[in-house]
Structure 1
Amino acid sequence: MENNLIKEGKFSYVEAGEGRPIIILHGLMGALSNFDGVFNYFSNKGYKVIIPVLPIYNLPLLKTNVKNLSKFLKDFMEHKKIEKAILIGNSLGGHIALYFSKLNLKNVTGLVLAGSSGLYEKSMGDTYPKRGNYEYIQNKTQEVFYNPEVATKEVVDEVYASVNDRSRVIKTLAIAKSAIRHNMAKDLPSLNVPSCIIWGKQDSVTPPQVAEDFAKLLPDANLYWIDKCGHAPMMEHPEEFNKILESWLKERNL
């Protein structure tokens, strides 16, 4: 997917399909390819699906935070002349979607959260693999998934490169601290927008209780579980994820 990147000024993104806009926000260690299944499916279902590359490692250190990443999303939507979009976010991407919605609710058609941060931030710092040998990094990466085979060599290689890049490690820690500062618990009740929460029953990074808390605090939310699934349901069970999401979008007429 990264081979098809469109580059326009400070923005890089992939895009396919025509219709109502869906913007996908990847996680802290997430490649665009994590959303291959969602991207390919919904771009053929009457949606324009866009995945911007978030500048997590390109912002100045003092601006490496959830607030500035949500501002980047605002700038990106203005660049693309998108007034309203459905936002889909996994992990940090969900947190960015929530913070963006807090400031720009009129620009959000719907929210889709999968393993989102925003309530339970301790995990972001705790589970970020420290430097070590390849086997250690591989084991830590596999723990994110219910099925360790989802952590392919390509996925592990990306994580390994990140944890051995000093600049990336520093910015990852900055993001983790920012996530704690920008806890969304008090803001969620005011986000009156259709919200779809799709969660892995065996998510060890953002445990099931986090999904239940999101469902309680968001005023217009539906919660769906995927069994035998960890932190990235769109990767582990793409067909089930798409089926749930498509059904929800139809039900909500989005």
Structure 2
Amino acid sequence: MQLQINQALAANSIHYPTTAAKDIVLLHGLFGNLSNWKAVQQELSPNYQVWTPQLPLFNHFLGGGLNKLVDFLEDYLQEHQIKNPILIGNSLGGHVALLYTLKYPEKVERLVLTGSSGLYENSFGGTFPRVKDYQYIKQKIEDVFDRKEVVDEEMVSYVFDIVQQKSKALSVIMLARDAQKQNLKELLHFIKIPVLLIWGLQDIVTPPEVAEEFYQYLPNATLHYIDRCGHAPMMEQPELFNGYVSNFLAS
């Protein structure tokens, strides 16, 4: 099993090296991939060590849901000798970052959450009633974004391919349901480190009231909303997103 994990670490990761001391780890969502973070990587890589692992959402050794993704993240950090990183997570990636911080509070310097699950969400991955309908899948993806122009054929084909494969579709459903079950409301007060919340005002997956709850229950949180923005601010409004992150890291 450890060999499989190490192989996954080596094959599915992007690292932007620099001489800076601080490490940043970017965690994508349930249907996300490494390209979601392109603008963030370009902005932060001159001043930080930026790491972008591909979460093993579909690997056969993943049984155990989100907790196994937390284990994967710990293995990844140890493998690359990353200590006290800043974790930046979108959607399910934010949930993983929260669970990791709760499990290893002394190992995380700061958190940035954007459209994070962990309280409640209207999950696209909970069911696939029209799995063979390409236009239906495209419409469901477009619904996640306020700025529809970020949705291209490559993105749609990527998601469509996932839901065509039974094992991958089952993994997505399992993780989506586990995310809905793992409500962290009663645990958030244990996270004492600084947390930046960046939320799209038009997010229909984790609506703005979810951000308000995170802000209420996290003891050391800062919240910024972005207009004309849905569930993925780092893709839809990268300049504003990067500005908030850069100010937060410099503070």
TM-score (normalised: structure 2): 0.92
The separation in 2 between residues aligned to 1:181 and 1:87, in whole angstroms, is 22
The separation in 2 between residues aligned to 1:233 and 1:130, in whole angstroms, is 28
- What is the Cα deviation at residue 91 of structure 1? 0.4
Output the amino acid matched with 2:61.
P
Aligned equivalent of 2:61:
60
User: Which of residues 37, 44, 47 is equivalent to 1:35?
Assistant: 37
Asked if structure 1 preserves the Cα contact closer than 8 Å seen for 2:112 and 2:198, the reply is yes
Cα 1:85/1:126, change in 2 over 3 Å = same
- What is the Cα deviation at residue 134 of structure 1? 1.3
- Are 1:223 and 2:223 an aligned pair? yes
Aligned equivalent of 2:240:
240
Aligned equivalent of 1:9:
7
Count of matched residue pairs: 243
Q: List, as ranges, runs of 4+ consecutive aligned residues in structure 1 with deviation greater than 6 Å.
A: none
Aligned equivalent of 1:21:
23
Cα 1:33/1:69, change in 2 over 3 Å = same
The separation in 2 between residues aligned to 1:244 and 1:193, in whole angstroms, is 17
The separation in 2 between residues aligned to 1:227 and 1:121, in whole angstroms, is 19
Output the amino acid matched with 2:80.
K
Residue-by-residue CA offset, 1:186-235 (whole Å, 9 max, x unaligned): 11000101100000000001000000100111110000011000000000
Residue-by-residue CA offset, 1:12-60 (whole Å, 9 max, x unaligned): 310113221000001110011010000111001x100000111110043
Residue-by-residue CA offset, 1:108-129 (whole Å, 9 max, x unaligned): 0100000000100453545767
The separation in 2 between residues aligned to 1:160 and 1:139, in whole angstroms, is 11
Cα 1:222/1:49, change in 2 over 3 Å = same
The separation in 2 between residues aligned to 1:115 and 1:127, in whole angstroms, is 20
Output the amino acid matched with 1:48.
Q
Cα 1:70/1:244, change in 2 over 3 Å = same
The separation in 2 between residues aligned to 1:242 and 1:127, in whole angstroms, is 33
TM-score (normalised: structure 1): 0.91
Cα 1:206/1:243, change in 2 over 3 Å = same
- What is the Cα deviation at residue 165 of structure 1? 1.1
Asked if structure 1 preserves the Cα contact closer than 8 Å seen for 2:121 and 2:205, the reply is no
The separation in 2 between residues aligned to 1:25 and 1:143, in whole angstroms, is 22
Query: Could you list the runs of 5+ residues in structure 1 that have no partner in the other structure?
Result: 1-6
The separation in 1 between residues aligned to 2:128 and 2:182, in whole angstroms, is 19
The separation in 1 between residues aligned to 2:237 and 2:149, in whole angstroms, is 13
The residue correspondences of 1:1-254 to structure 2 (distance < 5 A) are 9-11=7-9, 12-18=12-18, 19=20, 20-44=22-46, 46-60=47-61, 62-63=63-64, 65-126=65-126, 130-251=130-251
The separation in 1 between residues aligned to 2:56 and 2:157, in whole angstroms, is 20
Output the amino acid matched with 2:243.
K
Cα 1:240/1:167, change in 2 over 3 Å = same
Cα 1:126/1:21, change in 2 over 3 Å = same
- What is the Cα deviation at residue 82 of structure 1? 1.2
Asked if structure 2 preserves the Cα contact closer than 8 Å seen for 1:121 and 1:176, the reply is no
The separation in 2 between residues aligned to 1:204 and 1:179, in whole angstroms, is 16
